[in-house]
Amino acid sequence: MPTVEENEQRFEEMGFARVKSLAFNSGLPPDQLADAIRWVAKREEEERLRGIEERDREKEELQIDRQREISFETDSRRIAQNTLIVAWIAALASIVGIIVALLAWIFPRA
């Protein structure tokens, strides 16, 4: 009678789909059936946990991407505000320059 480890090794060689099919269609000897069902349940649980981990990882990546977008939007808004301030300062400096030039033209120094 094979040990549990020997059965699991044989199941690994056969592959998940084949073992599952044989286990649930009475295609295995009775001494291997309980081991096969346990092995299949263990593999399904591992797959389920992998799926949960992958979904969690995807959620984390989405959150990181959203945080980057928010950071980029905030930086862009700050840059736009600073650019607007600089543009107003330049406009005011131009106006002051025009006024000084007009005054110099109207009241020339001899």
Which of 18-22, 27-31, 33-37, 87-91 shows the lowest per-residue confidence on average (mean pLDDT)? 27-31
User: What is the pLDDT at residue 110?
Assistant: 56
Are the beta carbons of 40 and 18 closer than 8 angstroms?
no
**What is the average pLDDT value for the chain, to the nearest integer?**
91
> Confidence band (pLDDT; 50, 70, 90) for 34?
confident
Residue 39, C-beta contacts closer than 8 angstroms, at least 6 positions apart: 7, 8, 11, 19
**Rounded-to-integer distance, Cα 29 and Cα 40, Å:** 16
3-state secondary structure of 28: coil
Percent of the chain at pLDDT > 70 equals: 98
| Extents of the domains making up the chain | 4-77
Residue 53, C-beta contacts closer than 8 angstroms, at least 6 positions apart: none
